[in-house]
Amino acid sequence: MSLWSFVLRRFGRGILTIWFAVTVTFLLLRLLPGDPALAVASPNMTDEAREALLTQYGLNQPLIVQYGLYLWQLVQGNLGVSFTQSIPVLDVLMQRLPWTLLLTGTALVFTVLVGVPLGVLAAARRGTGWDRLVQIVGVTGQSLFVPSVGVLLLFTFGLTLGWFPIGGAYTNGTYGGEWYLSVIQHLVLPATSLVLIQLGSYVLTMRSTLIDALGEDYTTLAHANGMPPRRVLWKHALRNALLPTTTLIGLQLGFLVGGAVLTETVFAYPGIGRGIFEAVTQLDFPVLQGAFLMLALTVVVINMLTDLVYGLLDPRVKTS
Amino acid sequence: MSAMKGERMSSPTDSSTDTGAGPDAGTTAGVDPAETAAATDAATGQPADASENAERDRAAVASTGAEPVATESLRASAATWRAFRKEPLGLLALAVMAVLVFVAVAAPLLAPYPGSYGDTVLEGPTGAHWFGTDSLGRDVFGEVIWGTQQSLLVAVLASLIAIAVGTLVAVVGAYFRKLDGPISVLVDLMLSLPVLPLMILIAALVGPSTTTIILVVAAFSWPEVTRIVRSQALTVVGLPYVDAARLMTTSPAWIITKHIIPAVTPVIVVSVVVTASRAVLSAAGLAFLGLGDPNTWSWGRILYEAQQSGAMSSAWWLTLFPSLAILALVLSATLLSIAYNDARNPKSRRR
């Protein structure tokens, strides 16, 4: 199979994934109860006023026509206009998405920076107290409830010690370097809670894949050749063990971007998850459709990046 | 190529769920790179996980005695139990779980339903109110106790529905090969959806109630079950005894219920526990966002009300106790599945 047909297939797969997410969102919004006219006007509006609103937003056309029009607009890159804010959906999302990407990206970098060495430590000293400790931390980390961790951090470091701000993404009225500093300060607690939540999976995956890699023939051969154990561990075994971690990153990041809504709620962080929640309570259909499209797009892009990294890490993928 | 596609889409989730399921976890993830390459080489259209895992799973089936012979499996479950008894963490988890179930069932005996206003508002833990009182003066201990009932109910029902649907789809797909392709594409697509935001959307539109929560959580949990059970079922379907069964009967329903489902039962057991603990977290998450049942106490609702009333910052007991309850349930479920995996599978015990 040639490289191009592989790329083409992956691309088709991505389009299919996006179409599926978009369609599911569209159908859920149209078929579940919930009157979007209520989102813009008072519940006491007259029937005529309601009709006029629905006509204005094109919501009284047959479902299939609405769907066709929606897809047609989408292909042209038109996401529509927000019901409640009367500005293009893209603008609404672009106020939100960068914050979520900053938050989840930072969390991811630190999770990998902490998680991979911890997993290596546990695997290299298998059966010792260190290993046991890392395993316990890993399993506990996987059982944490996001808001609990967030509130604990908020309570300890935000309120009691006063080291970090307790909500928002930046301090109003600051400019230049000061503004960047405030962004970093606001980032610390939410990012830390996301790191704590994810760390478990990374540590445990790293540990068990590395243990498998250390049991392979090629590591035995490397040892037999007199290569220093440290070099065998970090250079030979780790490179193979990183592959599943790469897939984990691809998958987790997609989840994280959507799942950050809980963290964003605790810390009043103006990200896309919180944006979705607010759009849901306002029944702002265009914003919701746009937001779910963005999430699907993020997942697809991340998966493609993962594939790329996979190819770089594992020469077998490229040749086959 | 289709093999590789399927593998790549499913492999990431492999590592994430399996790590949850225990030390056995990485085994699956660990094989991945090699598997991917092997699968591409072969390109037979045979799903990758089937061929590669075949040997390991056959070993697992043999060692656990998941074979559908009554006496055999009885002996095997006795052996599993003997091995399980030697796991202190597993026993501890079982005890915690038993306490939680007891609390859930005996809730009316342990504490009166905290519905009305109390006279002491936001009081720390005392002899009268072990876990303190909330901003309306209600007893937090009672809220946590009754919340246990709700959380366990949601966990059990949501995971049962998800397991039933997920297993059915998986075995039907594995048995009728024509359906397997579409089913695995559907599962992959479902798994790539942003689950939590969609749950929020549905719960908000349909209106918050316990039934809604259960159905919503189940609706987004079954694809994970299908993915896990499917790879095991594909292996089983290829085993000679299933071919032998095909000679005995023409009824696929009989073969599926008598031969395939018993063989995938160990995977299902682990899946139940993992799905249930995820259901607890999802339900608590929805309730924390204010999308839980407003008429029933749940752990998430205590946290939600604490945040709404602004008491979260001062009254630590409002968040600590429900958080501990969630941690106790999810952690014991996770440890239980690890211990079960270890007891069942001597290979992972060595680790």
Which tens digits make up the pLDDT trace of B34-54? 333 333 333 333 333 333 343
Instruction: Report whether B300 contacts B282 (CB < 8 A).
Output: no
Instruction: Report whether A245 contacts A154 (CB < 8 A).
Output: no
User: Is the residue at B59 inside a domain?
Assistant: no
Q: List, in order of start, the domains of chain A with CATH numbers.
A: 94-319 (1.10.3720.10)
- Coil/strand/helix, residue A153: helix
User: Is the residue at B325 inside a domain?
Assistant: yes
b/e map of A148-180 (b: 16 or more CB within 10 Å)? bbbbbbbbebbeeeeebbbeebbeeeeeeeeee
Supply angle C-alpha B60, B61, B62, rounded to 5.
90
> Residue type at B315?
A
Residues of chain B contacting residue A255, judged by C-beta atoms under 8 Å apart:
194-195
* Cβ atoms within 10 Å, residue A182: 18
Instruction: List the structure tokens of B170.
Output: 């998986």
User: Is the residue at B311 inside a domain?
Assistant: yes
**Which residues are registered as beta bridge partners of B139?**
B133
Closest CA to B130 of B142, B120, B118: B142
The residue segments making up the domain with residue B258 are: 79-116+129-344
**Which residues are registered as beta bridge partners of A189?**
none
The DSSP-derived string for B269-305 is: HHHHHHHHHHHHHHHHHHHHTT-S-TTS--HHHHHHH
pLDDT at B20 over 50: no
User: How far away is chain B from the Cα of A54, in angstroms, using its nearest Cα?
Assistant: 18
Confidence (pLDDT) at B228: 86
User: Is the residue at B201 inside a domain?
Assistant: yes
Looking from the CA of B278 toward its CB, the CA atoms found within 13 Å total 27
Task: For A144, list phi and psi in degrees, rounded to 5.
Answer: -75, 145
Instruction: Report whether A200 contacts B19 (CB < 8 A).
Output: yes
Helix axes B210-219, B195-206, angle to 10 degrees: 150
Task: For B177, list phi and psi in degrees, rounded to 5.
Answer: -60, -25
d(CA A250, CA A246): 6
Closest CA to B215 of B172, B137, B175, B161: B161
Residue B323: which of A29, A145, A261 has the nearest Cβ?
A145
> Residue type at A116?
V
Per-residue pLDDT tens digits for B202-250: 988 888 888 889 999 999 999 989 988 888 888 888 888 888 888 887 7
By CB atoms closer than 10 A (0-12, 13-18, 19+), residue B207 is middle
- Which of B54 and B94 is assigned the larger pLDDT? B94
Confidence (pLDDT) at B27: 35
- Please name the residues in contact with A238: beta carbons below 8 A apart, sequence gap of 6 or more: A120, A210, A213
The answer to whether the Cβ–Cβ distance between B189 and A20 falls below 8 Å is yes
User: Is the residue at B150 inside a domain?
Assistant: yes
Confidence (pLDDT) at A218: 82
Q: Does B345 touch chain A (CB under 8 A)?
A: no
d(CA B124, CA B132): 4
Q: Does B326 touch chain A (CB under 8 A)?
A: yes
Size of chain A in residues:
320
No. of H helices and E strands in chain A? 15, 0
- Which of B178 and B69 is assigned the larger pLDDT? B178
Instruction: Report whether A198 contacts A117 (CB < 8 A).
Output: no
The answer to whether the Cβ–Cβ distance between A208 and B8 falls below 8 Å is no
- Please name the residues in contact with B127: beta carbons below 8 A apart, sequence gap of 6 or more: none
Q: What pTM was estimated for this model as a whole?
A: 0.79
Confidence (pLDDT) at A40: 64
Instruction: Report whether A109 contacts A98 (CB < 8 A).
Output: no
d(CA B143, CA B152): 14
Q: C-alpha distances in angstroms, A202 versus A139, A195, B20, B271?
A: 11, 10, 11, 20
Q: Quote ipTM for the complex.
A: 0.85
The answer to whether the Cβ–Cβ distance between A25 and B201 falls below 8 Å is yes
Which positions 3-32 of B are in contact with A (Cβ < 8 Å)? 5, 8-9, 11-13, 15-16, 19-20, 23, 25-27, 29-32
Instruction: List the structure tokens of A167.
Output: 């909500």
Looking from the CA of A243 toward its CB, the CA atoms found within 13 Å total 29
pLDDT at B9 over 70: no
**Which residues are registered as beta bridge partners of B133?**
B139
Ranges of H-type helices in chain B: 2-21, 25-42, 48-64, 70-85, 88-105, 107-110, 140-175, 177-191, 195-206, 210-219, 222-237, 240-248, 252-255, 261-288, 299-308, 316-344, 346-349
Task: Report the domain count for chain B.
Answer: 1
> Residue type at A144?
L
**Which residues are registered as beta bridge partners of A81?**
A88
Confidence (pLDDT) at B192: 83
d(CA A273, CA A279): 10
Confidence (pLDDT) at B350: 46
Instruction: List the structure tokens of B182.
Output: 């579409």
Per-residue pLDDT tens digits for B123-164: 767 766 677 777 777 777 878 888 898 889 999 999 999 999
- CATH number for the domain that contains residue B229: 1.10.3720.10
Residue A244: which of B30, B193, B288 has the nearest Cβ?
B30
Closest CA to A37 of A6, A83, A81, A71: A83
d(CA B204, CA B209): 10
b/e map of B98-136 (b: 16 or more CB within 10 Å)? eebeebbeebeeebeebeeeeeeebbebeeebebbbbbe
The answer to whether the Cβ–Cβ distance between B20 and A34 falls below 8 Å is no
User: Is the residue at B331 inside a domain?
Assistant: yes
For residue B123, the 8-state DSSP code is: P
pLDDT in tens, chain A (320 residues): 567 887 888 888 889 989 999 999 988 888 887 777 666 666 666 777 777 777 777 777 788 888 888 888 888 878 888 877 778 888 888 888 888 889 988 998 999 999 888 888 888 888 788 888 888 888 888 888 888 888 888 888 877 787 888 777 777 777 777 788 888 888 889 999 899 988 888 888 888 888 888 888 888 888 888 888 888 888 778 877 888 788 778 777 767 777 788 888 888 888 888 888 888 888 888 888 888 998 888 888 888 888 777 777 776 665 54
pLDDT at B253 over 60: yes
* Cβ atoms within 10 Å, residue B164: 14
The sign of the torsion formed by the CA atoms of B310, B205, A100, B288 equals: positive
Residue B11: which of A152, A247, A273 has the nearest Cβ?
A247
- Which of A319 and B319 is assigned the larger pLDDT? B319
d(CA A319, CA A317): 6
Residue that has been written with the tokens 């970093």 in this structure: A184
User: Is the residue at B134 inside a domain?
Assistant: yes
The answer to whether the Cβ–Cβ distance between B289 and A265 falls below 8 Å is yes
d(CA B297, CA B283): 12
Chain B: residue whose CA lies nearest to A281:
B204
